Amino acid sequence: MTKRVESFEDLEVFQRAYRISLEVHRASLDFPAIEQFALGDQVRRASKSICANIAEGFAKQGASASEFKRFLSMAVASSDEMRVWVRYCLDLGYIDESTWQNWRDEYQSISKMLQGLSSKWRKL
């Protein structure tokens, strides 16, 4: 028996995106001062936008399943964008290779989960 999704917070993909967003946010606060308004700000905004797009799309899915899918598509784009930013973080020496691999893999998984959710979603 599948648990009914009552809220965006019930979605595993939202929970995972939120968890890593917090991790990225906290880590970015340790970036050099020169990066706080550049790369640090960018990774914080992009990681949070995944969660925000899931939430906003879920709220609009009552009117149209296709609207939810549009927001999921934007969340996928932000998740894929994060894979670029975390590579910059690694190459600039702001995170270690283990953190980079973890974040890269998690964002890749989140993208796949979002794509799967979009292809299977039906209006509640």
Cβ atoms of 28 and 40 closer than 8 Å = yes
**pLDDT band at residue 2 using 50, 70 and 90 as cut-offs:** low
Instruction: Indicate whether 35 belongs to any domain.
Output: yes
CATH of the domain at 36: 1.20.1440.60
Cβ atoms of 21 and 48 closer than 8 Å = yes
Total domains in the chain come to: 1
CA distance 81 to 94: 18
Instruction: Indicate whether 4 belongs to any domain.
Output: no
Q: Look at residue 64 and give its three-state secondary structure.
A: coil
Instruction: Indicate whether 2 belongs to any domain.
Output: no
Whole-structure pTM value: 0.91
Instruction: Indicate whether 98 belongs to any domain.
Output: yes
Q: Look at residue 92 and give its three-state secondary structure.
A: coil
Task: Determine the pLDDT at residue 35.
Answer: 93
Q: In whole numbers, what is the pLDDT of the chain averaged over residues?
A: 93
Q: How many CB atoms lie within 10 A of CB 98?
A: 8
Query: Residue 123: pLDDT above 50?
Result: no
Instruction: Indicate whether 5 belongs to any domain.
Output: no
Instruction: Indicate whether 83 belongs to any domain.
Output: yes
Q: What residue has token string 């799309």?
A: 57
Query: Residue 51: pLDDT above 70?
Result: yes
Domain that holds residue 101: 10-120
Instruction: Indicate whether 42 belongs to any domain.
Output: yes
